[in-house]
Amino acid sequence: MKRLNTTTIYVLSVISILCCCFAGLGIVLALPAFLMANKKIKEAELNPQDYDAEEIKGMKTAKTVAMVALIMNSAALLFVIYRLTTTDWSVFMEEYQKAIEQYQQ
């Protein structure tokens, strides 16, 4: 029986969820995790006799986690793009200056 390695998918997905706070940059990790999980599931569905049913179920769960991470990061990225396109640059600079002043105190 062949084994499906779900650990890689889970690690990439969890790290991408953590990177969601950084302007949605976790999409760089979430997208490959989702694509790898999708590819492995398709391979397992083509040859179900080669894989354990529990491993296929685990990979489907890993794919779901990767999809959630991808959606979260996409939403964060779209929000950042929206904010950058609709807000004046001087407003961002003022907020940045206020944050620097608070940090220095």
Residue pLDDT, tens place only, 78-94: 998 998 888 888 888 88
CA–CA gap between residue 38 and residue 35 (Å, rounded): 5
pLDDT for position 93: 87
Identity of residue 12: L
Tokens standing for residue 79: 């929000």
CA–CA gap between residue 93 and residue 6 (Å, rounded): 43
CA–CA gap between residue 104 and residue 29 (Å, rounded): 34
DSSP, res 88: -
Q: Are 7 and 61 in contact (CB under 8 A)?
A: no
Please name which of 83, 92, 96 lies closest in space to residue 24, comparing C-alpha atoms.
Answer: 83
Instruction: State pLDDT tens for residues 36-55.
Output: 999 999 999 998 898 888 99
Which residue did the predictor score with more confidence, 61 or 5? 61
pLDDT for position 70: 94
pLDDT for position 3: 84
